[in-house]
């Protein structure tokens, strides 16, 4: 009896420590993107017209679709956590799969969007970009840096969610032990939150 109570107490401590570690990591990520947002704001104020002109090259419809994909995926990953807490293993696996599908759609849209920019030679280091006004050059430099860094976070999130799917199927992530899924969900919400700021900054300033 005492052994069982001690084990539950230790599990609770490990869980709280794991959550705290994830929150600290998330705050460091917010500082990273916050710095980029600050740089963007400074240059946008200085080169307002150039930023407006460059933003017209972005596809607001694709940006909107990607926003919808990530918002819905945040909902499905939260539902997956609830499902595993209720010991609904198959439902949790299904919801993680839906989240992964939405993430894949986001990345597919991003691939086509970037491909379009490369087709018109609007990429860092290209001669076309070098001949643009300084403000437009800065805009596209920040666009590729911020969306590229965000896409990397999406890929990391997809890897984490894939691991969770495998562990849920194997029974290693379950009603009693779901910290990995919970922390992965927190990470995914961060990915969503960052995009909520990126979308209007890059696509809606025209």
26 vs 77, residue with greater confidence: 77
Q: Report the Cα 118 to chain-centroid distance in Å.
A: 23
Mean per-residue pLDDT over the chain, rounded:
87
Tell me: the pLDDT tens digits for 68-122? Answer: 999 999 999 999 999 999 999 999 999 999 999 999 999 999 999 998 888 877 7
What value does the mean pLDDT take over residues 195-203?
A: 92
C-alpha triplet 35, 72, 91: angle, nearest 5°: 125
Task: Report d(CA 56, CA 53) in Å as an integer.
Answer: 6
Residue 94, CB-side half-sphere exposure with 13 Å CA sphere: 7
The pLDDT assigned to 156 comes to 95
Spell out the domains of the chain, with CATH numbers in brackets. Answer: 2-203 (1.20.120.80)
Tell me: the pLDDT tens digits for 41-53? Answer: 999 999 999 999 8
- C-alpha distance from residue 173 to each of 56, 94, 170, 188, 206 (Å): 46, 14, 8, 17, 46
pTM here is: 0.86
Judge whether residue 166 has pLDDT over 80: yes
Task: Report d(CA 106, CA 192) in Å as an integer.
Answer: 11
């Amino acid at each position: 009896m005492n052994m069982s109570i001690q084990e539950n107490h230790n599990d609770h401590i490990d869980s709280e420590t794991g959550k705290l570690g994830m929150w600290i990591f998330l705050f460091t990520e917010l500082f990273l993107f916050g710095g980029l947002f600050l740089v963007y704001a400074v240059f946008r104020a200085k080169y307002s017209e150039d930023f407006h002109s460059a933003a017209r090259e972005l596809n607001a419809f694709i940006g909107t679709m990607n926003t919808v994909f990530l918002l819905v995926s945040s909902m499905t990953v939260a539902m997956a956590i609830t499902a595993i807490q209720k010991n609904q293993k198959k439902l949790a696996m299904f919801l993680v799969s839906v989240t992964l599908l939405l993430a894949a759609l986001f990345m597919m849209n991003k691939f086509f969007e970037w491909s379009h920019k490369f087709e018109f030679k609007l990429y860092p280091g290209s001669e076309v970009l070098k001949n643009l006004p300084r403000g437009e050059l800065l805009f596209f430099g920040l666009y590729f840096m911020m969306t590229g860094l965000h896409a990397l976070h999406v890929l990391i999130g997809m890897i984490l969610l894939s691991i969770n799917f495998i562990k849920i199927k194997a029974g290693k992530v379950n009603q009693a032990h779901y910290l990995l899924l919970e922390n992965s969900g927190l990470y995914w919400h961060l990915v969503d939150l960052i995009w909520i700021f990126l979308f209007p900054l890059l696509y809606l300033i025209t």
